[in-house]
Amino acid sequence: MIATASMQTKVAPPPLRDVDAEIKLDARHVDFFYGDFQALHDASLAVQARKITALIGPSGCGKTTFLRVFNRMHDLVPGTRASGEVLLDGHNVLSPDTDVINLRRQVGMLFQRANPFPKSIYDNVAYGPHILGWSKIQIDQVVEESLKDTGLWDEVKDRLRRSALNLSGGQQQRLCRR
Amino acid sequence: MSLPLIRTLVDRLVGGLIVLCVSVAAIPVLVLLLFVLINGLPGMLTPGFFTDPPYPQGVPGGGVLNAIIGTLEIVGIGSLLAVPVGALIGIFLSEYGRNQVGNTVRFISDVFTGLPSIAFGIFGYTVVVLTTHHFSALSASIALAVLMLPVILRATETALVLVPNSLREAGLALGAPRWRVTLEIIVPAALGGIVTGALLAMARAAGETAPLLFTAFGNDIVQTNPWQPMGALSLTIFRNALVPYPNLQQQAWAAGLLLVALVAATNILARIYVRRIQR
């Protein structure tokens, strides 16, 4: 699922809700604090299933912060706090009983800057499925398919075991997009 | 005077200053190495140096086989004890230690770093030698392990802290539990620094004499049993340098050269190894 959406942090946008649309993720009245500084003010957003939603705004308005709340990446930053509700298939992601690890397996995230692991090209793609406990054969298959999807396969198929850090910036970006 | 000229002058001046500082730091080390090489080489080339135990004082010939085996074994066992524990504590400090527990561990470790090395010898003596009623290589290994511990854990922590946070987030965002991200991504990324830290600690331990004086004690017989007293290269240097027999003094120089060579060799080998697995 790609969670990107249009919003303003200070004023909740009029929800553009298609009556029939299935809402995959529903953020309601989210406030977010870095220590004493409030970064999000009552932000609300409904993301439809099987649609691409784009989130636009000036630098520093809180787009990334908002997105990070969706899979609780803010837990990793000490002194941050989120309130409100983020419903993923009806379950509030922000509630303390959420299985964060499971949540992050469902809500994928691609970062602004490409950040390949300092491992081989193969291992970089394989790490996700590896965590999910897939078999070697399945992983081999998924690595090849994903690299073909991004158009990297022909460029790297002969050096899958080499470090991903040797790739160019654009290649790294595409590798991480996987 | 025109501005570019001043700039050029300042540039030259600062450049010269840097070269001067480097020389002041490097020349004594190079002179020392040269000295050890010149004085140690003849002793090293004496037949039997590597293969014979020492002969009684006054008897010509003899070698330092007892000390070579002793140093390798004492430092080896010490490293086996200190490296895993130190690396694990370092991982804890970097990944989970941003709290009072971590700060306490850090403080204690810093105090240990500043302790004179003979204090670690006293530790080995009271804890192991007195309880087992026996000087032993093992007591020396334990003393050296405690001495190595703070160096290793701080180096490990520093290496891990330098790994960018974006890597941790990338791993966690894939849904990996924290311990897996730490062991499978963060530690491999910092392996170079961790290995370097462990090597620095081993090099320091190999050269230590004071902690061995009343733990390993020294032994002129070739001994491999860690429960028995054992020789070591640093002890050979210390004892033979104070003896009025020229052949033993020469042996001390040669033992010094061998120690330097051993430390240098481990360093180079480990660097090659790290470079290979990181490719």
Chain A contact set for B169 (CB, 8 A):
73, 76, 111, 115
CB spacing of A127 vs B164 below 8 angstroms: no
Query: Does A149 or B252 have the greater pLDDT score?
Result: B252
Which residue in this structure is represented by tokens 């949540």?
Answer: A103
Provide the residue-wise pLDDT of chain A in tens; the chain has 178 residues: 344 444 444 444 555 555 566 788 888 899 999 888 888 899 888 888 888 888 888 888 888 888 888 888 888 888 888 888 898 888 888 888 888 888 888 887 777 666 778 778 888 888 888 888 788 888 888 888 888 877 778 777 777 777 777 676 667 766 665 5
CB B197 within 8 A of CB B93: no
CB spacing of A117 vs B185 below 8 angstroms: yes
Quote the minimal CA–CA distance from A38 to chain B in Å. Answer: 22
Terminal CA-to-CA distance of chain B, rounded, Å?
53
Chain B contact set for A70 (CB, 8 A):
none
Q: Which pair of structure tokens corresponds to residue B54?
A: 């020492």
CB spacing of A71 vs B166 below 8 angstroms: no
Instruction: Give the pLDDT confidence of B38-96 residue by residue, as tens digits.
Output: 999 998 988 889 998 998 887 888 889 999 999 999 999 999 999 999 999 999 999 99
Pairing of strands A37-48, A80-88: unpaired
The number of C-beta contacts closer than 8 angstroms across A and B is 61
Chain B contact set for A113 (CB, 8 A):
166
Q: In a 10 Å sphere around its CB, with 0-12 CB exposed, 13-18 middle and 19+ buried, how is residue B279 labelled?
A: exposed
Instruction: Identify the pLDDT of residue A20.
Output: 61
Domain ranges of chain A: 23-106, 121-177
Instruction: Give the pLDDT confidence of B232-245 residue by residue, as tens digits.
Output: 999 999 999 998 88
Instruction: Identify the pLDDT of residue A10.
Output: 47
Domain ranges of chain B: 1-45, 65-278
Instruction: Identify the pLDDT of residue A11.
Output: 47
Architecture of domain B65-278: Orthogonal Bundle (1.10)
CB spacing of A118 vs B278 below 8 angstroms: yes
Q: Which residues, 6 or more positions from B253, have their beta carbon under 8 angstroms from its beta carbon?
A: B36, B39, B40, B43
Q: Which pair of structure tokens corresponds to residue A109?
A: 């995230």
Quote the minimal CA–CA distance from A3 to chain B in Å. Answer: 14
Q: What distance in Å separates the CA atoms of residue B12 and residue A129, rounded to the nearest whole number?
A: 57
Q: What distance in Å separates the CA atoms of residue B191 and residue B90, rounded to the nearest whole number?
A: 12
Residue B265 has pLDDT above 80, yes or no: yes
Closest-CA residue of A relative to B170 is: A115
- The A-side interface with B (CB below 8 A) comprises 71, 73, 76, 78, 101-106, 108-109, 111, 113, 115, 117-119, 127-128, 131-132, 162-163, 176
Q: Which pair of structure tokens corresponds to residue B268?
A: 């180079």
For residue B179, give the 3-state DSSP assignment.
helix
Closest-CA residue of B relative to A176 is: B170
Which residue in this structure is represented by tokens 């290589």?
Answer: B137
Q: What distance in Å separates the CA atoms of residue A91 and residue A110, rounded to the nearest whole number?
A: 23
